[in-house]
Structure 1
Amino acid sequence: MNSRNERKPSTTKRMILMIALVGGFLAVLIAWNIVGKMMGQNAAANMPVQPQTVTSMKVGTQLWQPEQNSVGSLRAVQGADLAFDVGGVVTAVKAKSGQQVEKGQLLIELNADDIIAERRQLEANAALLKLNLDRARKQLSYKGISQAEVDTAEANYKAAQAGISQQQALIDKRQLRAPFSGRIGIISITPGSYVRVGDAVVTLQQLDPILVDLNVPQDKLGEIKTGQAAVLSLDSFPDHPFLGEITAISPKLDPGTRNAQVEASVPNPDELLKPGMFARVAVQVGEQKPNLTLPQSAITFNPYGETVFLVKRSGKKDEKGKPEMPTAQSVFVTTGAKRGDQIAVLSGIKEGDEVVTSGQLKIKNGTPLIIDTSTAPPDDAAPTPQEK
């Protein structure tokens, strides 16, 4: 019994000793890690920040014309799909597809032989009635007949002339003429084709000038006035803006959209613009205003706001007598309208500030900068495609 009681204290001491050893080992490891991290942080803090190559430019002021942008649809000043009032067989096509025609020019004829024959018969009868009228007037001069007989002869002659005019009108209905000067479209019918009443046989469009319809919202309508310049840009002619002017503003708004229809007229001497085309329209409103501008690549857009990096130069020299490298400083800015590659900056910087225009992703506050202007980003308010 005594030997068992003597072993218990010995076992307990060994367990306490093992726990103490393990605890001490863990304490040493934790201390080592803490010291290592502190040494690493101190070493990183003492390591110099590597300079980064960026492009930069001085902030300048440019005069920008305020614009109100919209989209529009082109239509002809005069345009119509021409059709016959009567049906019939085509006997002649007097115009070619795509031809420029003048007002009143004959385009297409339908068969009118029977009506022409009736008109000739009426003309012969009218000629006879004219002779009778002339004889009646001579007889009246020496009292050979009464005035009533002369009046009857004159009425008969006028009725015959009216009949001729009626037949001529029926003939004219079978002749399709241009109601105004313009360019005709594709003519797909040929002599021998049968045309039904009301079938459109050819389109006629007056292309110079051409009109563009655009919708302006109610809150912007006060800026629009007739006579203002309107610049059209189309995907079909990316390097060719078209200049026109506002000619009319609708006196009422669409109650569904609260938009007003606005019309602009655009010279089109080369007939590059066609009815039905889609165009982007920039209406120049108000007077030109100065704006601080930067390339859009200089702006870093973040959820919490837009920023730019300023190039800060200390003016000091290093130990070798060379100017110290400039450093980056981030500032918040407020941006405005865009023009091509440029963007207006409303606040946050001033004219003459030097701003990083590319390479922002690899710098932060205090990063030394190497300025390289040989690869500056585009900075054009009205860029045009470049031939490769």
Structure 2
Amino acid sequence: MTPTSALLSTRPWPLLLLLTLLLPGLVQAQQPTAVIAARATLSSWSDPLESLGTLRADESVTLSATVTDIVRELNFRDGDTVEAGRLLVRLADDEAQADLRAAQALRDERRNAVNRLAQLQSRNLAPRADVEDARAQLRQVEAEIQALEARLADYRIQAPFDGRVGFRNVSLGTLVTPGTELVTLDKLDVMKLDFTLPEVVLGQLAEGLSLTATSPAFPNAVFAGEIASIGSRVDPVSRSVTVRAELDNPELRLRPGMLMNVVVQRAPRNALVIPESALIPQGQRQYVLVLDEDDDYRVARREIGIGARRAGEVEVLEGLAEHDLVVAHGTERVRDGQTTRLLGILDDDTSIPELLRRGRDQAEANG
């Protein structure tokens, strides 16, 4: 064998070996790029306004004594929930009760006198003037009884509405005088939340706007409510208006005086929403990669107009339609016109890490 023929016979082997090594990489490079997509969906949207507010009870009162006497009964404990009309405190009313009984006895006597004189007058045995005088005296004693009964009510301190009492600051036998504070009572099932907002947003406020409130005391709780009324005046110093909202408090966790973080849902509307991760900013413009579901998920680069943003989402004003499919993860690895391999579509029950893990598991299962 000549040297030339020996060389020709050995050259194909390195070439075949090189092709064998490069072929898997070439095949892998030709596979579509894996991406995760999201659909443009209509969602409730609003422009939030944030403020700090202070809670007040829906109804609140400090019950005080209006007469001077000693405490005879205390019918509550600290923090009790009481119903309207419940007797909370009774003061010693022995003297007032005695005066009432005496007035009632006098009323019975004068009523009998009126009846006797009326009978005599019907037989012309008594002048009509005597009957009228007796009736006037009866009306006088009846008025005195009403006054005594009203006075007796001052000795009985009752709950004017359903609510929760505060600390008891008096004891049995304590001598109280008019103005002595006996107990506080707060209606807590509904709370009033007062906060201020700049006057420049006054035209965007209205009764019934929804809001949420949170407190450091309950970091995992969100309390929902709505604006109940808007102040009639603007503070000329701070240029702000006071707003009052109402929050349901069925579990009675909220307390008067608590500081709340308030977020008012301004300008509520339905908006077209996509994940913020789908945006490709370029100067002042924003683009997304739209996937054609009928053409192997081929990518089309499209400019869109956006509005407000919130955590992880952006409002789309133009350039997309509802149900359009856009690349939410992998935008930096694909180009306009390329086909892609869809790992999954984001929704409320999935996340990007979860879809990536599923893609890896599927790839390993396929070898």
The residue number in structure 1 matching 2:144 is 163
User: How far apart are the structure 2 equivalents of 1:354 and 1:157?
Assistant: 91
- For 2:117, give the aligned amino acid: A
Structure with max Cα Rg: 1
Unaligned runs of 5+ in 2: 1-34, 290-305, 332-351, 356-367
Once the two structures are TM-superposed, the CA of residue 293 in structure 1 deviates from its matched residue by 3.7
User: How far apart are the structure 1 equivalents of 2:58 and 2:101?
Assistant: 41
User: How far apart are the structure 2 equivalents of 1:233 and 1:57?
Assistant: 34
Once the two structures are TM-superposed, the CA of residue 157 in structure 1 deviates from its matched residue by 1.0
- For 1:288, give the aligned amino acid: N
Unaligned runs of 5+ in 1: 1-55, 300-304, 312-333, 358-372, 377-388
User: How far apart are the structure 1 equivalents of 2:60 and 2:157?
Assistant: 15
CA deviation profile, 1:316-347 (whole Å, cap 9, x unmatched)? xxxxxxxxxxxxxxxxxx996443xx364889
CA deviation profile, 1:64-114 (whole Å, cap 9, x unmatched)? 621222222111221111111123211101222222222222110111211
Q: Secondary structure at the match of 2:268?
A: coil
Structure 2 contact 271–315 (Cα < 8 Å) conserved: no
User: How far apart are the structure 2 equivalents of 1:256 and 1:337?
Assistant: 32
Change (3 A) 1:60 1:214: farther
Once the two structures are TM-superposed, the CA of residue 354 in structure 1 deviates from its matched residue by 5.7
Q: Secondary structure at the match of 2:269?
A: coil
The residue number in structure 2 matching 1:289 is 271
Once the two structures are TM-superposed, the CA of residue 286 in structure 1 deviates from its matched residue by 2.4
User: How far apart are the structure 2 equivalents of 1:215 and 1:61?
Assistant: 36
Aligned residues: 281
Task: Map 1:324-339; keep pairs closer than 5 Å.
Answer: 337-339=309-311
Change (3 A) 1:61 1:200: farther
More strand by share: 2
Once the two structures are TM-superposed, the CA of residue 356 in structure 1 deviates from its matched residue by 8.3
Which of 136, 157, 176 pairs up with 1:176? 157
Once the two structures are TM-superposed, the CA of residue 188 in structure 1 deviates from its matched residue by 2.9
Q: Secondary structure at the match of 1:127?
A: helix
Which of 35, 58, 66 pairs up with 1:85? 66
Alignment pair present for 1:211 and 2:201: no
User: How far apart are the structure 2 equivalents of 1:268 and 1:184?
Assistant: 16
Change (3 A) 1:105 1:189: same
TM-score norm. by structure 2 comes to 0.66
Structure 1 contact 335–343 (Cα < 8 Å) conserved: no
Once the two structures are TM-superposed, the CA of residue 142 in structure 1 deviates from its matched residue by 0.8
The residue number in structure 1 matching 2:167 is 186
- Report sequence identity in percent: 26
Structure 2 contact 272–316 (Cα < 8 Å) conserved: no
TM-score norm. by structure 1 comes to 0.62
Task: Map 1:84-163; keep pairs closer than 5 Å.
Answer: 84-163=65-144
C-alpha RMSD of the superposition: 3.8
Change (3 A) 1:290 1:71: farther
Structure 1 contact 64–291 (Cα < 8 Å) conserved: no
Structure 1 contact 223–286 (Cα < 8 Å) conserved: no
Structure 2 contact 97–152 (Cα < 8 Å) conserved: yes
User: How far apart are the structure 1 equivalents of 2:328 and 2:121?
Assistant: 108
CA deviation profile, 1:14-60 (whole Å, cap 9, x unmatched)? xxxxxxxxxxxxxxxxxxxxxxxxxxxxxxxxxxxxxxxxxx97677
Task: Map 1:1-388; keep pairs closer than 5 Å.
Answer: 63=43, 65-66=45-46, 67-284=48-265, 285-294=267-276, 337-339=309-311, 342=312, 344=314, 352=326
Structure 2 contact 40–326 (Cα < 8 Å) conserved: no
Once the two structures are TM-superposed, the CA of residue 251 in structure 1 deviates from its matched residue by 2.2
